[in-house]
Amino acid sequence: MLIKHVQDNIETLGLEVTDNVVLSVDEEISEENKTILGVEVLVPINKPFSSNIHYVFKPYFKPENAVLLKYSGKVSELPQTGRELCEYAVNKRFSVLTNVYYYIMQLSGDNVVANAYVGINVNRL
């Protein structure tokens, strides 16, 4: 799986994962029998490193002013869960400012426990 692959590569760089992985789906392309996802993977690590063609170092990531949804279910249903979270925020008259970020707390096969966040503008009219 993608998360395991990224964690293995981080260890190869001499770095250590210090917290749970965060995912965001940037793009979703549906074809006849499959869906292709463009995914951003954020992995907290123990020290800075020089960005390269495979990985970019971001010194800071902290979601603020976000709507949270706690999720437990199939990994394949995360995109639908994200859409529902955005719909909820819009129905509550919030302006959605970010993609949905999934804070992965537990992953076992096709099952996941995650918190889904979407950044919002807290100024409502």
All structural domains of the chain: 2-121 (3.20.80)
DSSP 24-56: EEEEEEE-SS-EEEEEEEE--BSS-----SS--
- Phi, psi dihedrals of residue 3, rounded to the nearest 5°: -65, -45
Model confidence over 6-30: pLDDT tens digits? 778 888 888 898 988 898 877 778 8
Per-residue confidence (pLDDT) for residue 118, from 0 to 100: 95
How, if at all, do strands 22-30 and 66-74 pair? unpaired
Model confidence over 46-85: pLDDT tens digits? 999 888 887 888 888 887 899 999 999 998 888 899 999 9
Which pTM value belongs to this model? 0.81
Rounded Cα distance, 57 and 4, in Å:
18
